[in-house]
Structure 1
Amino acid sequence: MDEDEQRLQRDGYAQALVSGAFLDAVRSGPSGRIAIAYVEWAGAFEQRTVLDWSLLDGPASAQDIAEKIAQIPLRRAFRTSISGAIAYAEWMFDGNGYRALRRVIDISGDGANNQGEPVTLARDRALENGIIINGLPLLLKRPNAAMMDVADLDLYYEDCVIGGPGAFVVPVRAPDQFAEAIRRKLVMEVAGISPAAPPVIPAATSAPRVDCAIGEKMWRERMHN
């Protein structure tokens, strides 16, 4: 992600966490509270815990969490390892001190996996451990092959990244959609609502429509030119 996309993402999550709709969903949940962590990532060995596991049980804790997420300085990194991000998030669930009815990983990004193990292997391992993966692909810019952009990133996320009961993708196609997309996505996750129709797209149930190794192939082609 470039710095503008990073800031949009940070601000979008911070706004969503203090929104009335999200807090209502938390209050209406089975326990009336959730635990949340926030991680930023890039290449296979570039994961940073911006916010470690924190309990969100009302407006005060939501405001505190949102402020912590917004205030941490941005940091740029390179390459894209969705598989590394999934593996890191899966590891974070182990021994985190919370017992959850549902465990969900949110993956937000603007490109396909191009470093680390194949994304489908990391996805399938997380699913075997009962973790749900949802996606928020950023489609804010015209795809540029020279910049390793994937034309059908939303399909890539649907077919290669997300999975588990009720898993879904919320594509973001314009900057002004970002905060609302995150809010809608978080409300659905907390409430356990399954998607019904686009723009919230359910996980694929058949063979991938895109090449799940497209990112790695594009990187190899770039290195050979």
Structure 2
Amino acid sequence: MRLSALLLALAAPAHAQDTDLELVLLADSSGSITQSELMFQRESYAAAMTDPAVVAAIMNTAYGSIAVTYVEWATNQSVVVPWMQIATPEDAQAFAAALDGPPRRATGRNAIGSALLFAADMIETNRIDGWRRVIDFSGDSTGNSYGPAIEDGRDEVVSRGITINALAILSERSIMDGRDGLAQAYADRVIGGLGAFVVEAATRDVFAEAVKRKLILEISGVPTRRIVAGLETPED
């Protein structure tokens, strides 16, 4: 090889790793989420990611793999699990194990617009080339005390070709506070992009199953309702 060609090859960036889906799991860690609720969220995502139906959905994608990172958000954002490639049950188990242990570092009040932009930057600055790019946002309110407006953050993310889906976490507290329309609020203000949808989880038991259903829909790319209340099945 000629010296000039060799130098050009050495200077070129390493080839990005191809995968079917780049997925940011963006979980609520704001003040309304207790420590036990935070750990329950992590446990639910760990259980969902290792569920045979979710692993099968991953292995049945065009590339047979996805890339996932787990981020908690509040006033600031904290990466709990860095980007991991998942293609086998063993990969899924490794991701689940990584969720167990890191301390809570995202604290304070809500900054949803900032959280969405942080997740988008994580997608755009990694060394992964995903056929689809999705932010899986979850939260229990539409409060936005810091940073850009929710709609401004959403519009910027969608303009980059990234889809935002949402999981509306309903609690007795949120219903008593008159936020029982949270799923619709997320549909109006948070989600966006191709095939975007909202899943609603009204109880602790339903939450774990809703996480599993949401992951399967995102991984498989199956068209679904704009709002999936509880555990309704997707539309054909």
- What do residues 63-84 of structure 1 show as CA deviations (whole Å, max 9, x unaligned)? 0010101222334611101111
Equivalence for 2:92:
62
Does the CA-based 8 Å contact 1:8-1:178 persist in structure 2?
Answer: no
Task: State TM-score, norm by structure 1.
Answer: 0.82
Taking the aligned partners of 2:92 and 2:71, their CA distance within structure 1 comes to: 17
Taking the aligned partners of 1:41 and 1:111, their CA distance within structure 2 comes to: 13
SS in 2 for 1:186: helix
Alpha-carbon offset, residue 162 of structure 1: 0.4
Does the CA-based 8 Å contact 1:140-1:174 persist in structure 2?
Answer: yes
CA RMSD of aligned residues (A): 1.7
- What do residues 29-87 of structure 1 show as CA deviations (whole Å, max 9, x unaligned)? 010000001100101xx100001111111111110010101222334611101111101
Alpha-carbon offset, residue 8 of structure 1: 1.8
Please identify the structure whose Cα radius of gyration is greater.
2
SS in 1 for 2:137: strand
Letter in 1 for 2:192: G
- Where do 4+ consecutive residues of structure 1 move more than 3 Å? none
More strand by share: 2
Equivalence for 2:103:
73
Does the CA-based 8 Å contact 2:50-2:89 persist in structure 1?
Answer: yes
Alignment of 1:142-153 (within 5 A): 142-143=173-174, 144-145=176-177, 150-153=179-182
For structure 1, the 5+ residue unaligned runs are 202-225
Alignment of 1:1-225 (within 5 A): 1-43=33-75, 46-75=76-105, 77-115=107-145, 116-143=147-174, 144-145=176-177, 150-196=179-225, 198-199=228-229
Taking the aligned partners of 2:116 and 2:216, their CA distance within structure 1 comes to: 21
The count of corresponding residues between Structure 1 and Structure 2 is 196
Equivalence for 1:223:
none
Does the CA-based 8 Å contact 1:113-1:119 persist in structure 2?
Answer: no
Taking the aligned partners of 2:80 and 2:219, their CA distance within structure 1 comes to: 21
Task: State TM-score, norm by structure 2.
Answer: 0.79
Taking the aligned partners of 1:41 and 1:7, their CA distance within structure 2 comes to: 14
- What do residues 167-205 of structure 1 show as CA deviations (whole Å, max 9, x unaligned)? 11111100011111001000000000111474269xxxx
Taking the aligned partners of 2:125 and 2:82, their CA distance within structure 1 comes to: 13
SS in 2 for 1:170: strand
For structure 2, the 5+ residue unaligned runs are 1-32
